[in-house]
Amino acid sequence: VPTSLLQPGKGGDTFCFKNEGNPLIKHHYTADPAAYVEGDTLWLFAGHDFAGGQKGYKMKDWLVFSTSDMQNWTEYPVPLKITDFNWAKSGDAYAGHVTKRNGKYYWYISTNWSGIGVAVADRPEGPYRDALGKPLLTNKDCFDSDHSWACIDPAIFIDEDNVPWIFWGNRHCYYAKLKDNMIEIDGEIQRVDFEGMNFTEAPWIHKYNGKYYLSYATEFPEKIAYAMADRIEGPYEYKGILNEIAGNSNTNHQSIVKFKERWYFIYHNGGLNTNGSSYSRSVCIDPLKYNHDGTIQRIIMSTE
Ligand code: FUB
């Protein structure tokens, strides 16, 4: 077993590996994938589970990988740690999402449970530094602020009109515009609600053929569900389940991106055969296909 599987925060030297079937990454436990496509490169940002955590999360840093063909992958030195946010008191490196704006890369992260922070870098692989010195969003920005982990799981979407949006939340899904500087909320915080929603966490927005898709983790153990809308602010219409419970992980967390004319569903499960579990998770990738009416075909989790 590589030492990087055993020691949080010690892995991540630059090296190359091949995609030999799901789980994609076999030398770390990885979770909460967030993909970002730039030109010929797919960047994969992920959480990093400490091996053998059977009773709770031990997540101290985030990891970054890239590929230009989905087969050959590069891993970079650890780009961001929970200790880079000195206001993050409880300190667990929960789900994040990276996007590019005005030539800089912004990594929105959950800290469990001090709020959502944002780090910035000149290059996608980092290194990143805390952009604000304080949280961007905290529990008091959520309507049920007595729920201590309400403020997690940021997802960013920059629309075709160049307006950046942030979605996040646990138990309820919140959203707001970001200012052009990407480090301030612009206007009111709103909540997404629609019939059948049953939101747990992990929102992700993408757009296909002019429609907005909100995918998210539902129930617990989690499945991924999705809804569609004509406007980013809704109203959203529930469209169903995208995939089933992810093996022996009670969470799932998806990222949906188009890369070189193909759509991908990137998620995690507890499928690594070295003690994979709800707290020792692994990022996987499967193809995503649309029906003629824009609905998404159910994703069958594969081992290939
Ligand atoms: O990885 C820690 C938390 O578990 C994430 O923030 C949630 O989305 C769930 O995957």
pLDDT at 6: 43
Q: What is the DSSP string of 127-194?
A: --EESSSS-SB-GGGSTTTTSTT-S---EEEE-TTS-EEEEE-SSSEEEEEE-TTSSSEEEEEEEE--
ipTM of the complex model: 0.98
Ligand 1 pocket mutation pick from 32, 148, 268, 283 by most atoms within 8 angstroms of CB: 32
The amino acid that residue 285 corresponds to is I
Measured from the Cα of 47, ligand 1's closest atom is 1
Q: pLDDT tens-digit profile of 91-136?
A: 799 999 999 999 999 999 999 889 999 999 999 999 999 999 999 9
Mean pLDDT of 250-270: 97
Q: pLDDT tens-digit profile of 157-183?
A: 999 999 999 999 999 999 999 999 999
- The secondary structure element, H or E, covering residue 213 is strand 211-218
Residue 3's pLDDT band (cuts 50, 70, 90): very low
**Are the C-beta atoms of residues 149 and 137 closer than 8 Å to each other?**
no
**Are the C-beta atoms of residues 98 and 107 closer than 8 Å to each other?**
yes
Q: pLDDT tens-digit profile of 294-303?
A: 999 999 887 6
On the question of pLDDT at 4 being above 90, the answer is no
How far CA 228 is from CA of 14, 41, 197, 266, in Å, comes to 39, 27, 11, 19
Q: Could you tell me which residue, 206 or 55, shows the higher pLDDT?
A: 206
Task: Give the residue, by CA position, lying nearest to ligand 1 atom 9.
Answer: 251
Task: Give the residue, by CA position, lying nearest to ligand 1 atom 8.
Answer: 202
On the question of pLDDT at 9 being above 70, the answer is no
Pocket (CB within 6 angstroms of ligand 1): 31-32, 47, 57, 94-95, 110, 152-153, 201-202, 251, 253
pLDDT at 146: 80
Q: pLDDT tens-digit profile of 224-243?
A: 999 999 999 999 999 999 99
Ligand 1 pocket mutation pick from 251, 266, 268, 279 by most atoms within 8 angstroms of CB: 251
Q: How far is the CA of 252 from the centre of ligand 1 (A)?
A: 8
pLDDT at 248: 86
pLDDT at 274: 73
How far CA 174 is from CA of 85, 159, 233, 242, in Å, comes to 23, 17, 11, 21
Task: Give the residue, by CA position, lying nearest to ligand 1 atom 4.
Answer: 251
Q: How far is the CA of 112 from the centre of ligand 1 (A)?
A: 9
Q: How far is the CA of 53 from the centre of ligand 1 (A)?
A: 14
pLDDT at 89: 84
On the question of pLDDT at 15 being above 90, the answer is no
Closest listed residue to residue 61, CA positions, set 78, 44, 43: 78
Residue 7's pLDDT band (cuts 50, 70, 90): very low
The DSSP letter of residue 31 is E
How far CA 249 is from CA of 73, 153, 271, in Å, comes to 24, 17, 8
Q: How far is the CA of 279 from the centre of ligand 1 (A)?
A: 10
Predicted TM-score (pTM) of this structure: 0.95
d(CA 101, CA 85): 21
